[in-house]
Amino acid sequence: MKQYPAEPFRIKSVEMMKMLSKAEREEKIKEAGYNTFLLKSEDVYIDLLTDSGTSAMSDKQWAGMQLGDEAYAGSKNFYHLEKTVQDVYGFKYIIPTHQGRGAENLLSKIKIKQDDVIPGNMYFTTTRYHQEANGGIFKDVIIDAAHEPSAQHDFKGNIDLEKLEAVILEAKPENVPYVSLAVTVNMAGGQPVSMANIKAVYELAKRYKIDVYMDATRCVENAYFIKSREAAYQHHSIEAILKEMFTYADGCTMSGKKDCLVNIGGFLATNDEAVFNQAKELVVVFEGMPSYGGMAGRDMEAMAIGIKEAVQYPYIHHRISQVQYLADRLLAANVPIVQPAGGHAVFLDARAFCPHLSQDELPAQALAAAIYVESGVRAMERGIVSAGRDKDTNEHHYPKLELVRLTIPRRVYTYSHLDVVADGVIHLYNHAQDIKGLKFVYEPQMLRFFNARFAPLP
C-alpha cells in the first residue's frame, strides 16, 4: 500500500470551524447566487477555494511578527529578507512588493516595449495582464501535452524548445525582452518543469542574448517534483535543486502568498544591476520605498523565515503528498480528474463528471455549487464562466476544459479533512445525474467569475 507521510508539525493553536446542516447550506448557496466566490468564509467547512495567502504560519513566523522594525527606510527585516533570498535563491538584488502582481508590474514596465513578444509556458492571469498592458504580446510555448487533461507526462509544464525558437526567430531576438518561465505552471494544474528543460531554455535564450525571468511563485513545489521524478536529482536537497534552478535565470517575480508560507507579500529579484536600479525608481511610485515595497516590516520578517521553512524536505514532502492523497482517493473511485495531479490542487473534469450537462449549462459552476451543498467544501470553477466572452464577437469563449479546482492550503488541513472532501465528491459522483445546470442571472463585464450570480435550470 502507498504510504503518505503524517503531518510534520503538531498543532498549538486551533481555529474552530462551523458546520452548517445541508438545509442551511442549500440556503447559503442560493443567497450567494450559486457562486462559491460569494459565500461567506464562515459558512464554509473546508475551504479549498485557493492556496493563495491561506497558508498557516509557524510559531517561529509568528514570533518573527513581533520583531517588526517598522521604520520608513532601512528596516532590519528588509536586510534579513534580502540576505535570505540571496542565500536560498541565489539572486543578487531584491525589491519587495505588496504581492506577486506588484513585481510583475515592475518587471513588465522595465523590460517590455511596444509590440515586444514574450514567450512563456502557458499564461497566468496577472502575469499576462501586465505584459499586455505594457504593449507586449504573449506567446504560449508550453508542450502540447499540457493542454490534454489525461496525458501522462512527468513534466507537463516544460517548454517546447522548437516552439520557443520559432517564436524568437519570427519576432527577431531584439524584440523578445525575456522568456517568462513559470515553475510550476499554475494554469496547467500546478505542473512542473524539469531541470533539463529549464537549463535548455536558458541556453537557447542566451544563444540569442535573451534574458530568462522565472515566475518563482511555486518554485519549491517544482523543486520537489525534480527531486522525485528526475533521476539525477534524487539525492539532492530541495535547497540545492532550487539554487541550481535559479542559476538558469536572470531574475524572478515571486508571490510570497504561495511558496514563502505567508499571507501577503511578494518581490522582484534580479542579477541585473540596471534592472535593479530602474526597479528602485519605479517601486517608489507603485509600492513604497525600496526597503519595504508594499510590505510591513513584520511581514518581511515572517517571509524570510517562511522561505527557509519551505525548503525543509518534511514540509514539502507532506504538502505534495496531501495533494496526491486526495487525487488517489478520487481515482480509486473512478472520479474523473486531471492527471497527473500537480503541486497545489486536484482538478475535477466536470464534463466527464456531469455528462448530462452541456457546456452552456455551466457544468463546472454547477458542480462547484453542488460540492458545497453536499459537503460544505468550497471549490472554484475553471471553465466557461472563468473564460469570459470574446472582446470582438461578445460570444462566450468555449474552453476545452471544464474544471473544478480543489486547492489545498499549506499546513492548514489534515488527511481527515481530505477524507471528508473525497467522501463528499465520491458520493456526489455516484448521484451526478441529480446535479442541475445553471444559467446567469447577473453577468459582470470584466472577470465575471468573481461576482456573477446564477439560478438553477429546471
Ligand X SMILES: *Cc1c(COP(=O)(O)O)cnc(C)c1O
Q: Which of 82, 63, 59 is nearest to 300 (CA)?
A: 82
Catalytic (active site) residue 258: yes
In angstroms, give the least distance from the CB of 403 to ligand X: 16
- Which of the residues 128, 218, 257, 382 is marked catalytic? 382
In angstroms, give the least distance from the CB of 167 to ligand X: 21
CA 288: distance to chain centroid?
Answer: 25
- Which of the residues 51, 116, 160, 215 is marked catalytic? 215
Residue 101 or 329: the one with the smaller Cβ distance to ligand X is: 101
- Give the containing element (helix H, strand E) for 223: helix 219-229
**Rg from Cα positions in the chain:** 22
CA distance 342 to 222: 9
Catalytic (active site) residue 215: yes
User: Reduced to 3 states, what is the DSSP secondary structure of residue 154?
Assistant: coil
Residue 218 or 411: the one with the smaller Cβ distance to ligand X is: 218
- Which of the residues 72, 398, 442, 450 is marked catalytic? 72
- Which of the residues 258, 298, 405, 410 is marked catalytic? 258
* Residue 224, C-beta contacts closer than 8 angstroms, at least 6 positions apart: 238, 316, 317, 319, 320, 343
Burial of 380 (0-12, 13-18, 19+ CB in 10 A): buried
Residue 329 or 344: the one with the smaller Cβ distance to ligand X is: 344
Residue 99 or 194: the one with the smaller Cβ distance to ligand X is: 99
CA 401: distance to chain centroid?
Answer: 18
- Which of the residues 18, 40, 87, 125 is marked catalytic? 125
Residue 160 or 215: the one with the smaller Cβ distance to ligand X is: 215
Residue nearest to ligand X (CB): 100
Cis peptide before 97 (omega within 30 of 0): no
Beta bridge partners of 178: 211
Q: Which amino acid is at 416?
A: S
**Residue 271 has which C-alpha cell?**
542579477
Catalytic (active site) residue 72: yes
In angstroms, give the least distance from the CB of 101 to ligand X: 3
What does the binding site for ligand X look like in residue numbers (CB under 6 A)? Answer: 52, 99-101, 124, 126-127, 182, 186, 215, 217-218, 255, 257-258, 266
Residue 33 or 343: the one with the smaller Cβ distance to ligand X is: 343
Catalytic (active site) residue 124: yes
- Which of the residues 123, 124, 248, 267 is marked catalytic? 124
Burial of 434 (0-12, 13-18, 19+ CB in 10 A): exposed
Within 70-211, residue ranges assigned H as helices are 76-88, 100-111, 125-133, 161-171, 195-207
In angstroms, give the least distance from the CB of 176 to ligand X: 20
Catalytic (active site) residue 382: yes
> Using an 8 Å Cβ cutoff, are 61 and 55 in contact?
no
In angstroms, give the least distance from the CB of 392 to ligand X: 27
In angstroms, give the least distance from the CB of 128 to ligand X: 10
Supply the residues annotated as catalytic: 72, 124-125, 215, 258, 382, 449
